[in-house]
């Protein structure tokens, strides 16, 4: 077990280096001179040269890369060309909003998805099952930004029961996250419903389910206690990766609901060509993915020992 | 080959969308770019079945021409991914060894990102236009194809017919093209169909964010983005393009499901095949 974990952690090193290399190349390939972008056109060449030296931009490619890695390891992701702020500070400022949004979306997606999945497996081939299958198809097909706008229209304008934009200022205000969370989590909900349904269908055919029924346990006890517990294993392992990909997928949802999170920060940086911010956000999200992947793999190995022999 | 009812419905939608895209000039009642300011923001009526936008342009005509943009991007971007994916995946799976390790690590790095996010990041380096959307969505999508092809090639290359071909002296290129490739076609067809749905959504998302097709070219994503400031007083501006988008994506997905059940009997139990899982993950946006 320890050997597997160490091996798995070591595997992350080349991927991490690869990602840092890619983001570094990305910035080097970016059109325009970084110093000009940072200081503007009307600065004397002397000052430009000084800044260039200070930032290590006059060094050869490989030294600059090492310099970059060194800075990353010290938590320094560079400075925004436009807002003249540390990228790390900006990120730390935005992370909680995106994190809360993802958390609300996950909670909703798993609860609703698992419930729909269980019901359609138990009532297989009933009208409810057909409805649930259609709902699942809708979930993976509906454009999230359109769904968001329709929800804004229904709940914010017609019913006037939920706020349609912003995060409500400092701290966590659940009501501001309900519509965005639903929008973001809708596709995942469909995925969990599908996963739970097929997991349940498989489990409900097992002998121990028949045994449990035979010894006189009521149907809900069998379904939820004996069945669901085993059907949920794929859901749990999926949830980790899903969290990471939801966190990276918040861009459109944050735009629609004017939530100032990482997604909005990324889009603003992309459209204003603020390369260090794009690079910083990219690197941060990539590392989240790699880490979550690592944790999921290790958890999976702990839960299911067979995986280690693969 | 008989498809299920749902998939037949999907096929009809896909065929309809394709026809609309091809015949846009003939069936559109108005010029989609024609500005008629006195007709601004009309609700659906006899003259304009889906209403008009801020500049008085006919929404139905814009939806029809938007189908062309979606169709072109769906097909071209998918073809680019398919081509790169097949080349990389078959070489990697067929030769194995360090080539394979290198390619797989590369796809690991690329797949560290959701599809849509990667597209946004790469768009930083392109001027937003239809051509760059083709390229970017094409480049971003290759890794899933490469993995799919690689996996299938590894399965196929140890089969006896490939061994037979090799034993009569067939060259690697010939084996890959004539013996391995035909046998990996069906999962590829399934994945490609569903991938088009993902690409159409991604194009709309990029155009919505202002990073894709540029106005005044009619694209559903742009129409949604132009309509978003009017959702409270002219909701039809966002309703129609969104519905068109949903409708065509459902069409491709249904067709993909049907083909999967037809071509890959293992997935019929309601379980998720590799292809659909990949598609689900790439559609997150």
DSSP string, B183-229: HHHHHHHHHHHHHHHHHHHHHHHHHHTTSSSPTTS--HHHHHHHHGG
Pair A269, A278: CB distance under 8 Å: yes
Write the CB contacts of B81 (distance below 8 Å, at least 6 apart in sequence).
B137, B138, B139, B140, B141, B142, B144, B145, B195
pLDDT of residue A82: 80
Burial call B149-181: b when 16+ CB within 10 Å, e when fewer: bbebbbebbeeeebeebeeeeeeeeebbeebbb
Query: A272 to each of A160, A221, A267, how far by Cα in Å?
Result: 35, 57, 8
pLDDT of residue B204: 93
Domain ranges of chain A: 15-74, 87-303
What does the angle CA A131 – CA A132 – CA A133 come to, to the nearest 5 degrees? Answer: 90
Of B105, B231, B271, the CB nearest to A198: B271
pLDDT bucket at B224, cuts 50 / 70 / 90: very high
Count Cα neighbours of B24 within 13 Å in the Cβ-side half-sphere: 21
Q: Rounded distance, CA A286 to CA A49, Å?
A: 33
Q: Give the three-class secondary structure for B128.
A: coil
From chain B, the residues in CB contact with A273 under 8 A are 124
> Running DSSP on this structure, what letter comes out for residue B38?
G
pLDDT of residue B250: 94
pLDDT of residue B266: 56
Q: Which residue of B has its CA nearest to A253?
A: B285
Q: Tokens 């129609």 belong to which residue?
A: B240
Q: Rounded distance, CA B231 to CA B56, Å?
A: 16
pLDDT of residue B1: 59
From chain B, the residues in CB contact with A187 under 8 A are 280, 283-284
Residue A29 above 80 pLDDT? no
From chain B, the residues in CB contact with A157 under 8 A are 231-232
pLDDT bucket at B71, cuts 50 / 70 / 90: very high
Q: What does the pLDDT look like over B167-179, one tens digit per residue?
A: 898 888 888 888 8
Residue B270 tokens, joined: 């309601």
Of A22, A246, A251, the CB nearest to B120: A251
User: How large is the average pLDDT for residues A31-42?
Assistant: 74
Pair B187, B264: CB distance under 8 Å: yes
pLDDT of residue B109: 73
Burial call B70-107: b when 16+ CB within 10 Å, e when fewer: bbbbbbbbbebbbebbbebbbbbbbeeeeebeebbebb
From chain A, the residues in CB contact with B109 under 8 A are 15, 18-19, 22
Q: Rounded distance, CA B41 to CA B33, Å?
A: 15
Write the CB contacts of A296 (distance below 8 Å, at least 6 apart in sequence).
A237, A240, A241
Cβ contact (<8 Å) for A146 and B245? yes
pLDDT bucket at B276, cuts 50 / 70 / 90: very low
Among A59, A3, A147, smallest CA distance to B246 is for A147
Residue B284 above 50 pLDDT? no
Among A243, A308, A302, A291, smallest CA distance to A13 is for A291
Residue A183 above 70 pLDDT? yes
Cβ contact (<8 Å) for B235 and A153? yes
Q: Which residue of A has its CA nearest to B200?
A: A143
pLDDT of residue A113: 92
Q: Rounded distance, CA A45 to CA A26, Å?
A: 26
Residue A171 above 80 pLDDT? no
> Structurally, what CATH architecture does the domain formed by A87-303 represent?
Orthogonal Bundle (1.10)
pLDDT bucket at B277, cuts 50 / 70 / 90: very low
Residue A309 tokens, joined: 């022999």
User: How large is the average pLDDT for residues B58-69?
Assistant: 92
Residue B50 above 80 pLDDT? yes
Maximum Cα interatomic distance, chain A, rounded to a whole number of Å: 87
* Cβ atoms < 10 Å from Cβ of B220: 31
Cβ contact (<8 Å) for B121 and A246? no
Write the CB contacts of B158 (distance below 8 Å, at least 6 apart in sequence).
none
Q: Rounded distance, CA B129 to CA B131, Å?
A: 5
Residue A209 tokens, joined: 């389910």
Cβ contact (<8 Å) for B246 and A191? no
Residue B48 tokens, joined: 């304009």
**Interface pTM, i.e. ipTM:** 0.83
- φ, ψ at B244 (rounded to 5°): -60, -45
Long-range contacts formed by B102-110: CB under 8 A, 24+ apart: B103/B146, B103/B150, B104/B150, B105/A14, B105/A15, B105/A18, B106/A18, B107/B143, B107/B146, B107/B147, B108/A15, B108/A18, B109/A15, B109/A18, B109/A19, B109/A22, B110/B140, B110/B142, B110/B143
The residue among A213 and B200 whose pLDDT is bigger is B200
pLDDT of residue A310: 46
Q: What does the pLDDT look like over A255-293, one tens digit per residue?
A: 999 999 999 999 888 888 788 898 899 888 888 888 888
Q: What is the pTM of this model?
A: 0.85
Smallest CA–CA distance, residue B240 to chain A, in Å, is 10
Mean pLDDT of chain B: 84
Among A128, A253, A127, A123, smallest CA distance to A188 is for A253
Residue B279 tokens, joined: 């598609």
From chain A, the residues in CB contact with B279 under 8 A are 140
Cβ contact (<8 Å) for A30 and B124? yes
Q: Rounded distance, CA B256 to CA B10, Å?
A: 8
The residue among B58 and B110 whose pLDDT is bigger is B58
Residue B36 above 90 pLDDT? no
């Amino acid at each position: 077990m320890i050997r597997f974990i160490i091996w798995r952690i070591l595997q992350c090193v080349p991927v991490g280096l690869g990602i840092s290399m890619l983001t570094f190349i990305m910035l080097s390939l970016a059109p325009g001179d970084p110093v000009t972008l940072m200081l503007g056109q009307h600065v004397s060449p002397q000052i430009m040269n000084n800044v260039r030296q200070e930032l290590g931009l006059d060094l050869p490619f490989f030294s600059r890369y090492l310099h970059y890695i060194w800075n990353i390891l010290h938590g320094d992701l560079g400075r925004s060309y436009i807002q003249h702020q540390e990228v790390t500070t900006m990120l730390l400022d935005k992370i909680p909003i995106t994190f809360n949004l993802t958390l609300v979306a996950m909670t909703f997606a798993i609860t609703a998805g698992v419930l729909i999945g269980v019901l359609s497996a138990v009532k297989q081939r009933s009208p409810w099952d057909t409805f649930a299958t259609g709902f699942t198809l809708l979930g993976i097909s509906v454009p999230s930004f359109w769904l968001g706008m329709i929800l804004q229209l229904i709940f914010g304008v017609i019913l006037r029961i939920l706020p349609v934009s912003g995060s409500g200022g400092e701290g966590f205000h659940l009501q501001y996250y309900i519509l965005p969370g639903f929008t973001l989590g809708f596709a995942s909900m469909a995925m969990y419903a599908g996963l739970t349904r097929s997991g349940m269908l498989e489990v409900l055919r097992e002998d121990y389910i028949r045994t449990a029924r035979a010894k006189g346990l009521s149907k809900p006890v069998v379904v939820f206690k004996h069945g669901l517990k085993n059907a949920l294993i794929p859901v749990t392992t999926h949830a980790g990766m899903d969290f990471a990909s939801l966190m990276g997928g918040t861009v459109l949802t944050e735009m629609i609901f004017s939530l100032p999170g990482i997604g909005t920060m990324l889009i603003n940086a992309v459209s204003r060509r603020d390369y260090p911010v794009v690079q910083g956000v990219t690197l941060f999200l990539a590392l989240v993915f790699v880490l979550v992947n690592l944790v999921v793999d290790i958890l999976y190995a702990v839960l299911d020992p067979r995986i280690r022999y693969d | 080959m008989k498809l299920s009812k749902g998939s037949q419905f999907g096929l009809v939608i896909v065929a309809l969308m394709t026809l609309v895209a091809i015949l846009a000039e003939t069936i559109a009642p108005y010029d989609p770019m024609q500005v008629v300011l006195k007709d601004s923001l009309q609700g659906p009526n006899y003259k304009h079945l889906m209403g008009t936008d801020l500049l008085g342009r006919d929404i139905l005509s814009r939806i029809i021409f938007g189908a062309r943009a979606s169709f072109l991007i769906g097909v071209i971007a998918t073809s680019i991914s398919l081509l790169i994916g097949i080349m990389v995946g078959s070489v990697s799976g067929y030769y194995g060894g360090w080539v394979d390790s290198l390619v797989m690590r590369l796809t690991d790095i690329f797949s560290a990102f959701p599809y849509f996010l990667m597209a946004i990041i790469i768009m930083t380096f392109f001027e937003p236009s239809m051509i760059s959307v083709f390229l970017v969505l094409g480049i971003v999508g290759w890794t899933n194809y490469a993995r799919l092809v690689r996996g299938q090639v590894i399965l196929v290359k140890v089969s006896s017919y490939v061994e037979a071909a090799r034993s009569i002296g067939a060259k690697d290129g010939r084996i890959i093209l004539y013996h391995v490739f035909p046998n990996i076609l069906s999962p590829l067809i399934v994945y490609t169909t569903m991938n088009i749905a993902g690409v159409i959504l991604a194009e709309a998302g990029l155009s919505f964010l202002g990073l894709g097709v540029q106005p005044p070219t009619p694209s559903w994503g742009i129409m949604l983005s132009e309509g978003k400031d009017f959702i409270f007083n002219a909701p039809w501006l966002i309703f129609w393009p969104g519905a068109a988008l949903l409708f065509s994506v459902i069409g491709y997905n249904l067709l993909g499901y049907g083909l999967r059940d037809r071509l890959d009997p293992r997935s019929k139990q309601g379980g998720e095949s590799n292809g659909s899982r990949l598609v689900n993950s790439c559609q997150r946006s």
